[in-house]
Amino acid sequence: MLVTEAHGKVLLRAAAVATPSSQELRSLDEVRACRIDLPVAVKAQVAAGGRGKAGGIRKASSAAELEEAFGAIMAMRFAGEAPASVLVETWLEIERELYLAVAIDSRVGGFNVLYSPRGGVNIEDGPPPLSYPVGLARNFRAHVFRGLLEPVEPDARVRERVISVARRLLDIALANECTTVEINPLVVAKSGALVAADAKIVLDEAAAFRRAETAAAIATTREKADRGIRLCEEANLMLVWLDGEIGLISGGAGMTMAAMDAIDSAGAQPACFLDVSGNPTPAGFGLAFDLLDRAPKVKGILVSMFGGGLHTDRVAKTLVELLGKRTSVKPVTLRLNGTRSDLATTILRDGGHQNHATLEAAVADIVKRVAEVRR
Amino acid sequence: MSILLDADARILIVGITGKFGTFSVKDLAQSQTQVVAGVAPGRSGQTIAGVPVFSSVAAAMTETHANAALIYVPAVVALDAVLETVEAGCPLIAYPGDGLPVLDAMEMRAAALAHGAYLIGPNSPGLISPGKAKLGFMPSFCYRPGPIGVISRSGSLSYEACFRLSQAGLGQTSVIGIGGDPVRGVNAAEAIALFHDDPETRAIIYLGEIGGSEEYALAEYAGRPDAKPSAALLVGRTAPAGKKMGHAAAMIGSHAESWSAKVTALDRAGVVIARDLDGLASAAATALARAMKPAA
């Protein structure tokens, strides 16, 4: 999970990576007591990208401007998220902006070190950064990285400093179990020192069982999350809300995405990615239907399960019971295929429901019925 | 032929006394697969469905000459179990579990490479060579023997995709689940190389998704003059950027990780693209036809 810049910079400083003088502020009283020398950068603290382009970073040269920037930023939303605080930092005198990151790369099978002599907000528009595939952090070699840097970074002093910061970023990634530690921009200050002006750090959620800080960050995010997402996480379902109107209940990440794409091909859009394979029980399906029946944007529900290890006759029984008690009038289309699907079809038919043979037939049915409801 | 797993497979199950382990013993027995040993510390001397249980992988290997291992232990102890199995000399290992810390996946991969072993997983249903043997928990009815090599990042998608291929008469040499996590044992490039070297595999089908960079390995391969024909289905065309779609690695973090960037690269390299699951069997048939009638 992505942590805020302020949290990320705590991790950077702990590994002796220089950051500007800063203070995290949550209230107007704290803003008035702030002792950072003006001018300052005032930065929204949200765990979402694109903050700078969205106007979440401002310059303040006076106490009045600082107060105004604080109020304006706290009222903004970034990808739906309200900032929990702002970070106020000494305004940096910038000689040059670099890009430096360590990130897990699937093709490397471990860490990749990425460097660009021209960092900043438009990094994605420029040529791809230099890549040093390290793999295990202990395989990092300064001389190998130096050899790669020489044609890209002509300033030997900057080069040596970049090498030493890169090693520290790998130390941070190991010590805190991070999948990404990115500094963009890494500023070359007038003094020649390298200062991390931003920090994008992603913690490995799977390591929460042995990293108290990761577990705490997950708990904080869950408290702030949408009620449905929170309930699903607790029930071992996977929910992502989307913009369409077809409520999709499916099994497995890949098949749920395949069903989303099939809905798109049929001319409609999914309202969610909802994978119940982690808990295909009456409780799991019950929660899924409850959430989709309550969500106003959901106009119809498609249940599409392919039984591998899952016995579809059990799912059919669960669905017949659930649908019998359900009060919502939103149309529901069912498709159970795979293990024991003949039995499932019989159980559904006896319960008054049709089992569609294929994903495509089921998608066509629910798209048609939702279109009829809207008419 | 097939890749990595053949009819002579002698499988040992680490964690055989757990729920998944006991299910798997029975399931593999129904799939013509020989399970010769189980491992559960402190349970040596017991049997599970007729399979002898040993306290360590080394003891099980010595006694039974197992040549492949299926590891069903929780993520918390998975690295230890895989290291034990690698160091006992087992040449082929599947770790299907999910929720594994990525640092542990990196260590597993490095250990397997250092010992010349093949590791499949994490977060994968394993490997099957239809009609020969199965090292995993995928539903056997979805598969039938044939000339297609299948590589998949998603378990659920591979079941239904192979079910559809089999129904269309397009059987498989082997189907390997490379897993939904960002760091894996056998990766896409390595799986492609294995299928390339397998004389019975005539065409390669790749089932991928958004996020990560594995798909570019297929684009690079397909551009080679000696490449076998290939087809690909990538899911997540409609997934928004910045959201994790179930799998740890299924998130669009940059343009290169998007559906359109990957499909464009594959298409340019000559990979037959299935836009949907619906188009998969015909894309696979097209690739196979190219293998049967080489271009002049």
Q: For the segment A205-228, what is each residue's pLDDT rounded down to a tens digit?
A: 999 999 999 999 999 888 888 899
Cβ neighbourhood burial of A150 (10 Å; 0-12, 13-18, 19+): exposed
Q: For the segment B75-122, what is each residue's pLDDT rounded down to a tens digit?
A: 999 999 999 999 999 999 999 999 999 999 999 999 999 999 999 999
Domain A94-213, architecture per CATH: 2-Layer Sandwich (3.30)
| Six-digit token string for B289 | 């036809």
Q: Which CATH number fits domain B10-120: 3.40.50.720, 3.40.710.10, 3.30.360.10, 3.40.720.10?
A: 3.40.50.720
The domain spans of chain A are 21-90, 94-213, 227-374
The domain spans of chain B are 10-120, 138-292
Given a contact cutoff of 8 angstroms between Cβ atoms, the answer to whether A172 and B103 are in contact is no
Q: For the segment B16-57, what is each residue's pLDDT rounded down to a tens digit?
A: 999 889 989 999 998 889 999 999 999 999 999 999 999 999
**How many whole angstroms separate alpha carbon A1 and alpha carbon A327?**
38
A126 in B contact zone (CB under 8 Å) = no
Q: Is B196 a catalytic residue?
A: no
Nearest to B235 among A209, A254, A308 (CB): A254
Contact A48 B242 (CB under 8 A): yes
Q: Which CATH number fits domain B138-292: 3.40.50.261, 3.30.70.1230, 1.10.3720.10, 3.20.20.70?
A: 3.40.50.261
Exposure class string for B227-264: b at 16+ Cβ within 10 A, else e: bbbbbbbbbbbbbbeeebbbbbbbbbbeeebbbebbbe
Say which of B65, B115, B196, B247 is annotated catalytic.
Answer: B247
Angle at B267 between CA B263 and CA B271, to 5 degrees: 110
Task: Number of A to B CB contacts under 8 A, please give it.
Answer: 180
Query: Is CATH 3.30.1490.20 the right assignment for the domain spanning A21-90?
Result: yes
Q: How many residues does chain B have?
A: 296
Segments in chain A below pLDDT 70 = none
A221 in B contact zone (CB under 8 Å) = no
Q: How many residues does chain A have?
A: 375
How far lies B73's CA from each of A280, A367, B35, B133, in Å? 22, 42, 17, 22
A238 in B contact zone (CB under 8 Å) = yes
A261 in B contact zone (CB under 8 Å) = yes
Fold of A227-374: Rossmann fold (3.40.50)
Instruction: Write down the residue that tokens 């080679």 correspond to.
Output: B224
Instruction: Give the residue among A98, A82, A80, A88 at the shortest CA–CA distance from A62.
Output: A88
From chain A, pick out residues whose CB is under 8 angstroms from the CB of B281.
Answer: none
Find residues 22-61 of chain A whose CB sits inside 8 Å of chain B: 48-49
Q: ipTM greater than 0.90, yes or no?
A: yes
Higher model confidence: residue B196 or residue A82?
Answer: B196
How far does the CA of residue A275 sit from the closest CA of chain B (Å)? 8
Exposure class string for B160-172: b at 16+ Cβ within 10 A, else e: bbbbbbbeeebbb
Contact A254 B247 (CB under 8 A): yes
Find residues 273-292 of chain B whose CB sits inside 8 Å of chain A: 275-278
Nearest to B183 among A49, A106, A261 (CB): A106
**How many whole angstroms separate alpha carbon B25 and alpha carbon B31?**
10
Identify the band that residue B295 occupies on the pLDDT scale cut at 50, 70 and 90: low
